């Protein structure tokens, strides 16, 4: 999970430098991130469709190999076309790695420890922000190409070494049929991830334009805010094995309120960073809860289900960027925040309806209990 996120973040740190050297606009270079998202979504859907014909270990090794190849190709690219090829490989690697890692957290652990394992695994992505962004920034001082290869390649090599230590007797396949239709949780996950992705895309720009901080300072502030994922991850672990659906409702509503607060109330850079850290805590915990609910619903079709889960993340990034960009152009950061908050709230509706339905079923209906004689 750390490696996948490191690959997705690397270009964002050096977008302007890469565009300048390759003689294209920043807007054109920015479309490479969209290409990576499409490639990642396509790879994740392929995992969902192939299902039990894939092996977890092989899926993860392939993902790491593809990430290493994509990082090297991106760093060596002589033009924007070759950089696009490299970034497509990085995006596809992310789809494989996220699908395989989430499925392995359940398949390679005992049933009683799966919630804790899933929570620990899910820390990989926010920790990539905390550690990967500063390291990538230091490498960018030497050359932007070092940023594209440094952290992603190192993470992929460490991942392969870690997989080599997994005992061969562990189950490496995902039993059960492949998924031929979208599960019910896919749409709310797509909507919620679109909301969170939109926040991540525009949070740095909000800090820069609201408080006139440098991009480097904004990156450092967001890295500090990413530490908010740690306490939320720990506090949510007891709830991940049970009561997951009500947790998704509560966290979705809280994320909506915090998003409005972050985009409309800006008393100072310190206060906004604190609000963002709280939003990170809530939103990343909601992401973990969403993965836990998907695994609980999947039964033995873990790898297929996590392919769908990874696809919602990749395509959600595209939806969030599009909705956020349109709202920002139409009404500034206030409308951006309200629009993304509405997506967070909309993602809770299916879970809220199901939760209320379960409550009604469990409560005896008035008037149906015969009076005592």
Q: Mean pLDDT across the stretch 20-47?
A: 80
pLDDT at 181: 65
pTM here? 0.79
The mean of the pLDDT values for the chain is 84
Q: Has residue 182 been placed in a domain?
A: yes
Q: What percent of the chain has pLDDT over 70?
A: 90
Residue 13 belongs to what domain range? Answer: 2-167+176-362
pLDDT digits (tens, 9 = 90+) for 196-210: 988 887 887 788 788
pLDDT at 215: 66
Q: Mean pLDDT across the stretch 216-226?
A: 80
Q: What percent of the chain has pLDDT over 90?
A: 30
Q: Has residue 201 been placed in a domain?
A: yes
Where does the pLDDT of residue 371 fall: very low under 50, low under 70, confident under 90, or very high at 90 and above?
Answer: very low
Where does the pLDDT of residue 178 fall: very low under 50, low under 70, confident under 90, or very high at 90 and above?
Answer: low
CA dist 179 and 307 (Å) reads: 9
Q: Has residue 35 been placed in a domain?
A: yes
Q: Where is average pLDDT lowest: 12-16, 261-265, 320-324? A: 12-16
Residue of 62, 49, 131 lying closest to 97 (CA atoms): 62
pLDDT at 214: 75
Q: Mean pLDDT across the stretch 144-148?
A: 88
Exposure string of 36-66, with b = 16+ CB inside 10 Å and e = fewer, is bbbbbbbbbbbbbebbbebbbbebbbbbbbb
User: Comparing 49 with 174, which gets the higher pLDDT?
Assistant: 49
For 104, counting Cβ atoms within 10 Å of its Cβ (0-12 exposed, 13-18 middle, 19+ buried), the class is: buried
pLDDT at 365: 53
Q: Has residue 367 been placed in a domain?
A: no
Instruction: Answer yes or no: is pLDDT of 131 > 60.
Output: yes
Q: Has residue 371 been placed in a domain?
A: no
pLDDT at 250: 93
Q: Mean pLDDT across the stretch 240-248?
A: 81
User: Comparing 256 with 229, which gets the higher pLDDT?
Assistant: 256
Instruction: Answer yes or no: is pLDDT of 170 > 50.
Output: no
Given a contact cutoff of 8 angstroms between Cβ atoms, the answer to whether 246 and 292 are in contact is: no
The CATH code of the domain that includes 253 is 1.20.1250.20
Q: Where is average pLDDT lowest: 50-54, 68-72, 289-293, 359-363? A: 50-54
Q: Give the chain as a 3 state SS string.
A: CHHHHHHHHHHHHCHHHHHHHHCCCHHHHHHHHHHHHHHHHHHHHHHHHHHHHCEHHHHHHHHHHHHHHHHHHHHHCCCHHHHHHHHHHHHHHHHHHHHHHHHHHHHCCCHHHHHHHHHHHHCHHHHHHHHHHHHHHHHHCCCHHHHHHHHHHHHHHHHHHHHHCCCCCCCCECCCCCCCCCCCCHHHHHHHHHHHHHHHHHHHHHHHHHHCCCHHHHHHHHHHHHHHHHHHHHHHHHHHCCCHHHHHHHHHHHHHHHHHHHHHCCCCHHHHHHHHHHHHHHHHHHHHHHHHHHHHHHCCCHHHHHHHHHHHHHHHHHHHHHHHHHHHHHHHHHHHHHHHHHHHHHHHHHHHHHHHHHHHHHCCCCCCCCCCC
User: Comparing 290 with 129, which gets the higher pLDDT?
Assistant: 290
Residue with tokens 């192939």: 50
User: Comparing 364 with 88, which gets the higher pLDDT?
Assistant: 88
Q: Has residue 256 been placed in a domain?
A: yes
Q: Mean pLDDT across the stretch 190-196?
A: 93
Residue with tokens 């490498």: 139
pLDDT at 171: 47
Q: At what angle are helices 269-298 and 215-225 packed, to 10 degrees?
A: 50
In total, how many domains does the chain have? 1
Instruction: Answer yes or no: is pLDDT of 268 > 70.
Output: yes
Instruction: Answer yes or no: is pLDDT of 53 > 80.
Output: no
pLDDT at 334: 93
pLDDT digits (tens, 9 = 90+) for 310-362: 888 888 877 887 788 788 888 888 999 999 999 999 999 999 998 888 888 77
Instruction: Answer yes or no: is pLDDT of 373 > 70.
Output: no
Q: Has residue 334 been placed in a domain?
A: yes
pLDDT digits (tens, 9 = 90+) for 273-305: 999 999 999 999 998 888 888 888 877 777 788
Q: Has residue 369 been placed in a domain?
A: no
pLDDT at 129: 80
Q: Where is average pLDDT lowest: 39-53, 159-173, 192-206, 295-309? A: 159-173
| CA-based radius of gyration for the chain | 21
């Amino acid at each position: 999970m750390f490696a996948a996120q490191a690959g997705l973040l690397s270009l964002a740190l050096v977008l302007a430098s890469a565009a300048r050297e390759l003689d294209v606009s920043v807007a054109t270079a920015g479309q490479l991130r969209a290409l990576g998202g499409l490639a990642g979504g396509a790879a994740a859907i392929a995992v969902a469709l192939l299902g039990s014909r894939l092996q977890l270990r092989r899926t993860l090794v392939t993902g790491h190999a593809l990430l290493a190849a994509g990082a090297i190709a991106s760093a060596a690219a002589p033009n924007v076309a070759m950089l696009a090829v490299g970034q497509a490989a990085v995006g596809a690697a992310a789809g494989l790695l996220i699908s395989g890692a989430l499925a392995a957290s359940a398949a390679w652990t005992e049933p009683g420890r799966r919630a804790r394992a899933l929570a620990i695994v899910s820390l990989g992505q926010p920790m990539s922000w905390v550690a990967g962004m500063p390291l990538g920034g230091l490498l960018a001082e030497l050359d932007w190409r070092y940023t594209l290869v440094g952290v992603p390649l190192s993470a992929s090599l460490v991942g392969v070494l870690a997989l080599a230590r997994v005992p061969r007797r562990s189950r490496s396949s995902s039993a059960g049929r492949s998924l031929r239709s979208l599960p019910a949780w896919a749409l709310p996950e797509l909507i919620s991830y679109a909301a969170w992705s939109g926040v991540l895309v525009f949070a740095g720009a909000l800090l820069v334009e609201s408080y006139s901080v440098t991009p480097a300072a904004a990156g450092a502030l967001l890295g500090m805010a990413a530490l908010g994922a740690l306490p939320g991850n720990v506090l949510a672990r007891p709830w991940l094995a049970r009561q997951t659906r009500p947790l998704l409702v509560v966290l979705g509503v809280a994320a909506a309120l915090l998003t409005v607060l972050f985009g409309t109330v800006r008393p100072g850079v310190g206060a906004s960073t604190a609000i963002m850290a709280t939003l990170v805590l809530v939103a990343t915990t909601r992401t973990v809860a969403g993965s836990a609910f998907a695994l609980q619903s999947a039964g033995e079709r873990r790898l297929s289900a996590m392919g769908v889960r990874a696809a919602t993340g990749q395509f959600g990034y595209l939806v969030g960027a599009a909705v956020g960009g349109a709202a920002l152009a139409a009404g500034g950061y206030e409308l951006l925040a309200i629009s993304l908050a509405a997506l967070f709230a909309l993602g809770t509706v299916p879970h809220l309806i199901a939760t209320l339905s379960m409550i009604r079923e469990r409560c005896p209906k008035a008037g149906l209990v015969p009076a005592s004689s």
